[in-house]
Amino acid sequence: MLNRPIKLNMNEMPYPPPSGVFESALKELSNLNRYAEVEDMELLRDLLAVYSDVKKENIVLSPGSDILLRELIHSFSKDRKVVTVSPSFFPIVESAKRFSMKWVSIKLSPSTFDLNPDILMAQLNVPSLVIIDNPNNPTGRLLLDCGMVESITKMTDTLLVIDEAYYEFSGVTFADMVNDHANLAITRTMDKSFGLAGARIGYTIAGKAFLDGINSFYPFLSRFSLSAAVEALREPDYMRENIHKVIEERERVCKALEKSGALVYSSDTNFLLVRTEIPDLKGRLEEMGILIFDLSNQLPPGFVRVSIGKREENDAFLSGYKKIYETINYGIFLHE
């Protein structure tokens, strides 16, 4: 057993942010007894607006995109049908169950996990709130294109929320459509690509129909989180370099898993959806000190999600997987 587990179960960025981020956050320790200043939140909104190429008035901050998604569902599900996809980011599912009077979950095509646009559009025959993670978690697949977003937002009684938590990995965004589509909102996080999971910075790029209902949101952000986020946004090239390293590792891990007999789905994120015949792969790897995410709560047995870590962490995972795979197959051979 390793002294500390290798965490490939939380979709975190394996590389820390630049040193300036730590230095900036540490300076705020002397203000531990103070709440965050309004001007600091306004500065972060300014920088996020520039980074996202949108208007500042469309930016709403939140302590994590999961909190933001919960609040959006809570605020806008009244008198609306809530439409999600399955599988999906689990907090979306949980909030839809909790707050919606009527909830419809559209199953993604099991072979490719694509979203059938005809099935989705057929559900929008009454006032609706649609929430889709793009890329999808846990499949890693892009589900939407501009044509689908246009079609959905043309439904005047429909509100569309797109969770772009993995935008920096996919390179696909619909933020530029918010200004012309009042019923569109984009949610994002700085947890993943910027390596700020501990800071919990989420934000939405919201159209007017959403802004009218969420301007009262008060972001309880710490001075440390705000300072770290501001500094991270001043060094975007550092973030992009880390994204590149993660994508390279993702493709290497994918090829290695396929050679070991696993079915691996293509991904536009920092994780892989894997299907294997190995029973209790999560438990077996955990005994080796390697954590992955079991998806039996949303998908059939055999599906797991594996986050991409540093090269040495990925090598430990691949070595563990290969050892388990060979042990099981050797056992089958002896049995036969």
What does the pLDDT average to over 82-92?
A: 96
State whether residue 52 is helix, strand or coil. Answer: helix
Could you tell me the domains of the chain? 6-14+237-335 (3.90.1150.10), 19-234 (3.40.640.10)
Residue 73 pLDDT: 95
Q: Give the containing element (helix H, strand E) for 294.
A: strand 293-294
pLDDT band (50, 70, 90) for residue 109: confident
pLDDT band (50, 70, 90) for residue 210: very high
pLDDT band (50, 70, 90) for residue 334: very low
What does the pLDDT average to over 18-38?
A: 93
Residue 217 pLDDT: 65
- pTM value is 0.95
* Percent of the chain at pLDDT exceeding 90: 88
What does the pLDDT average to over 21-33?
A: 93
Name the one residue in this structure whose structure tokens are 């996919």: 170
pLDDT band (50, 70, 90) for residue 218: low
Residue 328 pLDDT: 83
Name the one residue in this structure whose structure tokens are 């500390």: 4
Q: Judge contact between 230 and 185, C-beta under 8 A.
A: no
What does the pLDDT average to over 190-211?
A: 96
pLDDT band (50, 70, 90) for residue 74: very high
Cis geometry, peptide bond prior to residue 117 (ω within 30 degrees of 0):
no
Taking 90 as the threshold, does the pLDDT of residue 329 lie above it? no
pLDDT band (50, 70, 90) for residue 139: very high
pLDDT band (50, 70, 90) for residue 3: confident
Q: What average pLDDT does the chain have?
A: 94
Residue 111 pLDDT: 86
What does the pLDDT average to over 119-130?
A: 97
* Percent of the chain at pLDDT exceeding 70: 96
Q: Round to whole Å and give the CA distance between 74 and 220.
A: 18
Which residues, at least 6 apart from 154, have a Cβ–Cβ distance to it below 8 Å?
Answer: none
Question: pLDDT (tens digit, 9 = 90+) per residue, 168-179?
Answer: 999 999 999 999
